[in-house]
Amino acid sequence: MKTQPSDSDRLQQRNRELSILNAFAKELNAQVDLNRALQTALAQVADLLDLQTGWVWLLHQESGEPYLAASQNLPPALAENPWRMAGDCYCLDTFRAGDLSGAANVNVVTCSRLKNLVDGANGLRYHASIPLYAHSRQLGVLNVASTDWRELSPDDLRLLYTVGDLLSIAVERARLFQQSADLGALEERNRLARELHDTLAQSLAAIALQLESADVLLETGAPSDRISAAVQRAMELTRASLEEARRSVLDLRAAPLEGRSLPEALATLVEAVDRQNGLRASLELIGAARPLPPRVEIGLYRIAQEALNNVARHAGARICRVRLTTTPGEVRLLVADDGAGFDTNEVSDGRLGLVGLNERARLLHGQLRLETSPGAGTAVEVVVPLLS
C-alpha cells in the first residue's frame, strides 16, 4: 500500500518548489536578451524537475513557422543531426492546432523525433510539452525530456503551467526589448545618414569653388591648361564624393538584405549563380525560421556572396551547394563545389578573397574552415556562435 506524504513532506515540497520558482523568476527578470533568457529557463527547469534535457520551440513573429530557439543537452542523435530538429512534430502540430491550451493539457507525450531512434537517443523517448502563450497569442512550446516519466500529478501540472507563464512573460519582454533596440538602431542610422548628407555640402562647396575658378579663368582669357586643371579637379572631387556617398549609404541601409531575410537573400544569390557557365547551384536550409541578429545576417550574406563569386570565377566547377544550418547555439554556412581545388600551401596572400572571408568571419566572432586539394573541389564553412 502506497504511503501518503505527510503534511510536513508536502510543506517541504511546496517550499522547495516556491524557492525554485522564485529563483527562476529572478533569473529570467535579469535577462533582456532572448537567447540568454531561454537558456536560463532550460537550466532552471532542469533543476526544478531533476532533468538534463530540454528544448524550446518558438513561432516566428511574422511567418508563424516554428524554429528551435534553445536547447540543453540534446542526445547525440538530435544534436549531431540538426535536420531532425527541424520541421513539424506531434507536439508542435497539436499546439498550433490549439490543443495545448492550459495546464490540463500539459502532459507527457511520446516524442515523434525520438521514438524511431535506436542509437544516440540516450534512452529518451518521452517529454512533457508546456505551451507558451502571451494572452491568447501562441508563442511556442517548452519540452523537457526524461527516460522514465511518471504520470504528472495535479501539483506537477500546476507547477509546469506556472513555469510556462513565467517563460512566456520573459519571451515577450525580451522581444519588446529587441524591438526597442532595433528602433534605436534605425534612428541612429537615420542620424548618420543626415550627417552624411551634411558632409556632402562641404564636398559640393569645394566642387563649386573649382568650377567658379574655371569660369573666372575662362572670362579672363587664361591659358587653357589652367582652365582644364580646374575642371579636372572639380571632376575628381565629384567622382570621389559620389563614390563615398554611395558606399556609405549602402552600408547604412544594409541594402542587400533590406526587406528580405537571410534565407531569401541567399536564394536570390544562388539563383543568380545557377546555370552560369554550366554551373548547377543549390541551396539547403536547416532551421531557417530562426531569426538571426542583423549583423550576423549581413556578415554571412557577404561571405556567401564572396564565396560564390570565387566558385563562379575560379573553380571551374559543375556543381555548387550552399547550406545554411541554424541551431540555438550557432549558425553554419557552407559553400562547397566539385571544381579544381588548390594546394593551400601554394596560395599567395589574398588569393581567392580568403583574407576578406577570414576577416568577415572574425568580425562575427566566428571561424572559417577551408577544405580543398587539387582536383578535389573546395568547401568553405563559416561557424558563428549565437550565444556569448
Can you name the residues that pair with 331 across neighbouring β-strands?
Answer: 326, 384
Superfamily of domain 259-385: Histidine kinase-like ATPase, C-terminal domain (3.30.565.10)
- The Cα 319–Cα 284 span in angstroms is 14
Sequential DSSP letters for 249-281: HHHHHTGGGTTS-HHHHHHHHHHHHTTGGG-EE
Q: Which CATH number fits domain 7-180: 3.30.470.30, 1.20.1530.20, 3.30.450.40, 2.40.240.10?
A: 3.30.450.40
pLDDT of 197 strictly over 60: no
In tens, the pLDDT along 285-305 reads 998 888 888 888 888 998 998
- The Cα 44–Cα 30 span in angstroms is 14
In tens, the pLDDT along 156-187 reads 677 777 777 777 877 777 777 766 666 655 66
Residue spans of the domains in the chain: they are 7-180, 186-256, 259-385
Can you name the residues that pair with 335 across neighbouring β-strands?
Answer: 322, 380
Q: Give buried/exposed letters for 207-233 (b at 16+ CB in 10 A, else e).
A: beebbebbeebeeeeeeeeebeebbeb
- Sorted by sequence, the CB contacts under 8 Å of residue 156 that are 6+ apart come out as none
- The Cα 297–Cα 311 span in angstroms is 21
In tens, the pLDDT along 230-244 reads 888 888 878 777 766
Hey, how many other C-beta atoms are within 10 angstroms of the C-beta on 277?
12
| Structure-block grid coordinates of residue 50 | 531533476
For the chain, the maximum distance between any two Cα atoms, rounded to a whole number of angstroms, is 118
- Sorted by sequence, the CB contacts under 8 Å of residue 337 that are 6+ apart come out as 311, 315, 317, 319, 320, 321, 377, 378, 379
What value, to the nearest 5°, has the Cα angle with vertex 227 and ends 226 and 229?
Answer: 65
In tens, the pLDDT along 14-47 reads 776 677 677 667 666 666 677 777 887 788 777 7
